[in-house]
Structure 1
Amino acid sequence: MLGLAQRAVEAKWPMVALRPVAGRYHPYDPAFIADPYRHLDRLRATAPAYYSKVTGSYLVSSHAVATDVLGDRRYTSNRMLDSSLRNRMFMRLGKFSPTEKQALDNTLANVSADTHQRMRNAISQDFGKRRITALLPRIEYWVDRLLDEAAARGRIELIDDFAAKLPILVVAELLGFPPRDRRRLQEWSDSYLVLVDPMIRGAGIKRMSGAFHEFDPYIADTLRRKQADPDDDLISRLLERHRAGEFDDAQLRTLIMMLMIAGHEVITNLLGNAVASLLRFPEQRRRLCAEPELMPTAIEEFIRFESPIQAVWRIAAEDLDIEGVHVPAWRAVTVLIGAANNDPGQFPEPRRLDLGRADNRHLGFALGAHYCAGPWLARIEAAAALSRFLERFPNFRGDATRLRWKPAAGLRGLYELPLAL
C-alpha cells in the first residue's frame, strides 16, 4: 500500500477513499485533505484514543491527552523502534545502505537521550531567540529581495516565489552554506520529506536515497572548507564541538543535514497557510494591517489555526494506557496536533481566526524533550516575512475558495497560492 500510495501521488492519480475499510481516520481522502477539522472533531468526540488501520498507530486528538502524551517520558520519538507491520515494511522496502542506515540512526529523534541532549545543547544558542533576533536584518534582506522581484511582476505565486525560497536562504546562511546553492539544498531537503510523511508530493524512498548520496558528500566538502577557514556560522561552531569529542563524524554530518531539512518545510507551510487564512478572513487582514503590533499574537494564531505540523509520532517504551485504550510496548502513538489545536475544550470557537487570541497554548511545536528545536526561527522569520508582505501589498488578491492542499498526514501546506499584488 505504501508504494502504491507514493506512486499515486507522484503520478497525480486520484486517490481512492478507504473510509469503509480503514475506519474513522483517513488523512488521504480528498474530503479530509480539503477540510480535516470537521473529521477530526468527530474523531475527538467519539474516540479520544483510537487505533488507526491507515497509520498502524494509536491516535490521540484532544488537547489534554495530546499534552499528556507529549510530556510523558515513557514515550520515545525514535520511530525506528516502532514494531508495527507498516514500519517494518517501510524499513524493508527502503533497502537502506549501511551509510544511509547510520544517518537515520543518528537523527535527533533516534539517538540516545544523552546524545540527543548534547545535540540540542550544541544548537540551542544559534536557534535561540537572541541569535535569531540578531539575524533579523539578514532575514529582512532576503525578504525584500524576493518581494522586489514580485513587485516588478505585479503578481506572485506565494509558495514557489516566496514561501519556499525564503526559509532555504535563511537557514543556509545560519548554517554557513552559500546562498548560490539554494536550489540544490531545497531539492535535497524536499527529498527527505518521506521520513515525515510518505504521501508528500514527489517524496519517495528512491528519491531520498539519491539525495542522500549527493547531500552527504556536499556536507563533507563544506566541513573540510570550514575546518581550514572557519566563519561565524553554526557549522563552524559545530566543528569546534566535534574536535572536542562531543560528536563523531556521522553524528555531525547528520545533524547538519537534519537542520537544513527541518528549517524549511514547516516555515514554508506556515507562511502559505497564514496568507491563505488572511484571504479567507478579510476582516482579520484589515485588523492586522491597522494594528501591526498584533503580529506576535497573530503568528501564534496562524500556527494554531492551520498548523503546519499536523501530527507527530511517539513510541511507547512500555505497555501503556491512554483513555482506557491499551497501547502495547513499541507501538506508535500519533499525536494529532491539528486536532488538539482546534479542540473547543481548550480554544473557544477554534475555527474562528482571531489574531488577538489570548492564552493561546497551542501545541504547534509539540512539547517535552522533543519540542521543536527551531520555534524562534519560525516565529521571527514568519513575522518579518508577513510584516513586510502586508506593508508592501496590503491589497493583495487571490481566490480563497480554490485552495489545493498537499495530501499529507504529518504536515499541512499548499501546492500553490497565486496572488495579484
Structure 2
Amino acid sequence: MLPLRPVAGRYNPYDPSYIRDPYPWLDRLRATAPVHYSRVTGSYLVSSYALATEVLADRRYTGNRKLDSSLRNRMFLRFGKFSPAEEKAQDSTLTNVSDDMHQSMRNAISYDFGKRRVTALLPRIEFWVDRLLDEAAARGTIDLVNDFSAKLPVLVVAELLGFPPQDARRLQEWSDSYLVLVDPLIKGAGVARMSGAFHQFDPYIADTLSRKRAEPGDDLITRLLERHREGEFDAAQLRTLIMMLMVAGHEVITNLLGNAVATLLRFPEERRRLQKEPELMPTAIEEFIRFESPIQAAWRIAKEDLEIEGVTVPARRAVTVLIGAANNDPAQFTDPRRLDVGRADNRHLGFALGSHYCAGPWLARVEGAAALSRFLERFPDFRGDATRLRWKPAAGLRGLYELPLTL
C-alpha cells in the first residue's frame, strides 16, 4: 500500500508493459503459479477463476484490511498519521465494521441501489447523459473520460444520495482523493490529499444531514438518517457510509464507460454489431465488465490459517483476488481475449462475489447501458486512436487518463 517501486518478478503491475496490457502477465501467472506470494503487494495472489470464486465466497476471510499484518500494511497505517476522526471513519467503513453491522449497512442501502429504484432513476440518468452529450455535440469533439464518463456518475450518484448537482465538481475532487486506499500510485493519490479531503468532506456531509433533518427528501441520505434515528448505526458510521457510497458510486462507472468505448475502437466488427443490434446492450455491458474489468483486484484477509491449493495463508495475511485474471481465464471463458457483445452465460467476477459483493451492480448496468446507448445513437461515426491509450498505473483499478474522440 506504500508507493514503493517493486523489484521485477512474476507480477509487477507498475511495469509499463503491464500497465499497457496486463493480460499476458496474468495469463503467465495463472499458468505457472495460480497461488503466488507477491512482494509487490505483500499478499498472496489468486489468478484462476475457480480459486477466485472459492476465496471470494469463503467467510473465513474478511474485507477488513486493517487486520492485515504484513509489513507493507503496517507501514501504511503507521506513517499515515491519521487523526482520531480519520481512524474512526476508517473503522466505520463497510469493509471494517463487524459482520452484523456490515449486513445492517447493506440492508440500509439495498432499496436505493436495487434494480427497481435504479430503473426508476433512468429518466434522470438520461437527462444528465444528454446534457453532457449536448455540450460535446456543440464542440464536435469529446474527451470521453474527462468530459463524460468522469462527470456523469458523480451527477447521478449525487442525485441518488441527495446532494445538490451544483456540488458535483467538489464531490468528485473529494472522492478522487480516496483512490489511495485502492492504489497509491494512481496519479495524484496520497495520504495527505486524502486527509485534506476528509476534513472538508466530513463537515460537508454533517451540514447536509442537518439540512435533511429540516427538509427531508426522497433520497438515500434521508432514508439513512431515519435508520440512524432508530439506532441502527452511530453518527460516524452514518457519515462514513455516505462518504464511501459517493466514492464507490462513480469510479467503477467512470472506468466502465471509458474502457467500453476504447474497446469498441479496438473491435470495429463488434461495434458495428452492437450498432445494428442495440438490443444486445445488456449482454454487451456484462462483456465490457468482463473483458476490461474496471475493478482488477479484490482484497481479503484470512481470519485464521488457511490453505489455497496447497499453499498456506497465515492468519491476518492478505489474499489479492486478481479479478482481471479470473475474468480472462480460458478455463471459464471461451477465447477470453475476444470481445463478444452477445456472449452468453457470462458469469464474470467484475462485481466480486460473496458477502462483499459490490453494492451497486444495477446502478453500473443501468447507467452504463443508458450512457453507451445514447452515445452510440447520437455519434455513430465517432473516431479515435486505439493504439495510443494512456492507462492509469494501478493494481486495483483499470481506467484511462483520457480518450479523445472526434464526433
- Quick check: TM above 0.5? yes
Counterpart Cα distance in 2 of 1:349 and 1:50: 24
TM-score norm. by structure 1 comes to 0.96
Matched AA of 2:193: R
Is structure 2 residue 321 aligned with structure 1 residue 328? no
Query: What SS is found at the alignment partner of 1:408?
Result: coil
Residue 368 (structure 1) aligns with: 354
Compute the displacement of 1:17 (Å).
Answer: 7.1
Is structure 2 residue 2 aligned with structure 1 residue 2? yes
Residue 57 (structure 2) aligns with: 71
Given the alignment, which residue of 116, 123, 126 partners 1:140?
126
Counterpart Cα distance in 2 of 1:26 and 1:298: 30
Is structure 2 residue 233 aligned with structure 1 residue 247? yes
Query: Contact 2:298/2:396 (CA < 8 Å) preserved in 1?
Result: yes
Deviations 1:346-401 (A, max 9, x none): 00100000000011010000000000000000000000000000000011000000
Matched AA of 1:2: L
Residue 10 (structure 1) aligns with: none
Residue 112 (structure 2) aligns with: 126
Residue 71 (structure 2) aligns with: 85
Counterpart Cα distance in 2 of 1:2 and 1:360: 35
Is structure 2 residue 169 aligned with structure 1 residue 183? yes
Residue 310 (structure 1) aligns with: 296
Counterpart Cα distance in 2 of 1:85 and 1:205: 17
Deviations 1:113-169 (A, max 9, x none): 010011000000000000000000000000000000000000000101000000000
Is structure 2 residue 155 aligned with structure 1 residue 166? no
Deviations 1:220-245 (A, max 9, x none): 00000000110110000111101111
Query: Contact 1:17/1:29 (CA < 8 Å) preserved in 2?
Result: no
Q: Which ranges in structure 1 are unaligned for 5 or more consecutive residues? A: 6-15
Compute the displacement of 1:2 (Å).
Answer: 2.5
Counterpart Cα distance in 1 of 2:7 and 2:378: 45
Counterpart Cα distance in 2 of 1:194 and 1:105: 17
Q: Which ranges in structure 2 are unaligned for 5 or more consecutive residues? A: none
Deviations 1:52-93 (A, max 9, x none): 000000000000000000000000000000000000000011
Counterpart Cα distance in 2 of 1:333 and 1:83: 12
Is structure 2 residue 250 aligned with structure 1 residue 273? no
Residue 412 (structure 1) aligns with: 398
Residue 393 (structure 1) aligns with: 379
Residue 279 (structure 2) aligns with: 293
Q: How many residues align?
A: 407
* Structure 1 consecutive aligned stretches of length 4 or more whose deviation exceeds 4 Å: none
Given the alignment, which residue of 1, 4, 13 partners 1:27?
13
Counterpart Cα distance in 2 of 1:91 and 1:173: 34
Query: Contact 1:191/1:204 (CA < 8 Å) preserved in 2?
Result: yes
Is structure 2 residue 324 aligned with structure 1 residue 338? yes
Query: Contact 1:337/1:363 (CA < 8 Å) preserved in 2?
Result: yes
Counterpart Cα distance in 2 of 1:324 and 1:124: 38
Counterpart Cα distance in 1 of 2:395 and 2:338: 22
Is structure 2 residue 7 aligned with structure 1 residue 18? yes
CA RMSD of aligned residues (A): 0.8
Is structure 2 residue 198 aligned with structure 1 residue 212? yes
Query: Contact 1:18/1:29 (CA < 8 Å) preserved in 2?
Result: no
| Sequence identity percentage | 82
